[in-house]
Chain A
Amino acid sequence: AQTVTQSQPEMSVQEAETVTLSCTYDTSESDYYLFWYKQPPSRQMILVIRQEAYKQQNATENRFSVNFQKAAKSFSLKISDSQLGDAAMYFCAYRSALNRDDKIIFGKGTRLHILP
């Protein structure tokens, strides 16, 4: 069974600085999708960025980028120029691209604090 591990329950970063959130996963599959979601205090789940395992190029979305290391099964999220609005819970998630009977598995989350 696939698992997703986020080893940092909480992190803090100074406004305008860069922070990296860690995520590792365990799977025997070769084709899958990885996601980072943001959950602000409003509780709404918002997709930040996605990565397809067959693509070697790391995904980027404005200030958000990932470091995808397939062999190491690592998928970290880098937030550049941190802003107060980035304060939220961040979840890493995994989804198989091969198995129709699939499910989306989430890690336990990392709470990110932005220090003014």
Chain B
Amino acid sequence: NAGVTQTPKFRVLKTGQSMTLLCAQDMNHEYMYWYRQDPGMGLRLIHYSVGEGTTAKGEVPDGYNVSRLKKQNFLLGLESAAPSQTSVYFCASSNRDRLTLNTEAFFGQGTRLTVV
């Protein structure tokens, strides 16, 4: 059972380069999220999706774009990377099913991105 898989696990980018982080989940979850984790800042929500074909802005969306063309995938794009985007990025997915208590987020293993 793979759960939530993020690709890649590590990446170094030069300022101005672009890249896409891929998140895939095999739990048929409706909700998917992208967070960034920085020291002393906790997990901050970048963008999220409440279903296939939908996306919404989170707390820190500037400089990022997302797409959810398929229910199982949630892509995070950086069009022109900046050193301020150096961070660890986490993808998560969830449902919201009170009957089964299936309400928590399941996380991928994280992607460490360095922009130089």
Contacts and interface: CB of A to CB of B under 8 A. Distances in A.
Interface of A: 6, 9, 33, 35, 43-45, 47, 50, 52, 91, 93, 95, 97, 100-109
Range of interface residues on chain B? 20 to 34
Given A9-B40, A43-B88, A104 B105 contact: yes
Contact of B50 (A47, A95, A100): A100
B42 to A, nearest CB: 4
Interface of B: 31, 33, 35, 40-45, 48, 50, 56, 58, 88, 90, 92, 94, 96, 98, 101, 103-105, 107, 109-110
A95 B42 contact: no
Given A33-B103, A44-B107, A47-B104, A91 B96 contact: no
Most buried by B among A9, A103, A108: A103
Nearest to A49: B104
Contacts of A102: 31, 50, 96
Contacts, number: 58
A108 B41 contact: yes
A103 B33 contact: yes
Given A9-B40, A101-B50, A108-B40, 12 more contacts: A44-B110, A45-B107, A50-B103, A50-B104, A52-B101, A101-B56, A102-B96, A103-B48, A104-B33, A104-B105, A106-B35, A107-B42
Contacts of B94: 104
A40 to B, nearest CB: 12
B18 to A, nearest CB: 25
